[in-house]
Amino acid sequence: MGDTMNDELLRLKQEIKEKREKIITKPIKISNKKRNSWIFKYLNKLFITVILMLITLIMIKKDQNFKSLFYKHVFDTNISFATLNKLYNDYFGSPLPFQNLFKDKIKPVFNEKISYKDASKYKDGVKLTVDKNYLVPILETGIVIFIGEKEEYGKTAIIQQINGIDVWYSNIENLSISLYDFVEKGTLLGEVKDDYLYLVFSKEGKFLDYQDYI
């Protein structure tokens, strides 16, 4: 009788142990599967990038016409990095591995269009009269390519838009953006220092008429 009880207890302990091991190891297997999928995905992206780079280098070395064309476009043309970034995201997804995990959590709550009381020509752009400490919205999606002081403009942020146009936002402070950020249309850039906002529009080194863009 005693042996039977002992055998039954041992059997129950073994069942409990097996169930506990299943519960512990199951999430690990799922986690490993996701991790392997993520590694495979980004190794593919890296592999494609390396192949494209190698093809370009081979073509530059072997084909003089291609080399001339490549150098012309790289050194003589204003490349729109904002456009390239958008195309990369559209076809390959974000180059940052964890960006999508936080995508829904970092949606901006600020979504406005520029409003002003008066506009007048100022140097290569326009001087807008706005409310004091006016919150400045971003006119178009793009990449922040400059933050710093510009003579006779004050503190300036330049955003290269996906349409290839560079926009200067000047006389600003309390920026909510950083250099090389990819920023969305309508989100908050910062606030004006007093009640004036200076905007300048340019493309491929030529200044554009502000009236076409505000």
Q: What is the pLDDT of residue 139?
A: 94
**pLDDT above 70 as % of the chain:** 62
Q: Are residues 64 and 116 in the same domain?
A: no
Range in 29-38, 73-82, 157-166, 198-207 with the lowest mean pLDDT? 73-82
Q: Which tokens is 142 given?
A: 């793009």
CATH code for position 186: 2.70.70.10
Distance between CA 203 and CA 140 in Å, rounded?
14
pTM over 0.85: no
Q: Which tokens is 90 given?
A: 């559209």
Does some domain include residue 95? no
Does some domain include residue 91? no
Does some domain include residue 87? no
| Domain coverage including residue 113 | 107-212
Residues 145-165 have pLDDT tens digits of: 999 999 999 999 999 999 989
- The three-point CA angle 115-119-120 to 5° equals 160
Residues 168-194 have pLDDT tens digits of: 999 999 999 999 999 999 999 999 999
Does some domain include residue 90? no
Residues 81-119 have pLDDT tens digits of: 655 666 666 655 555 444 444 344 444 456 678 899 999
Range in 41-50, 123-132, 200-209 with the lowest mean pLDDT? 41-50
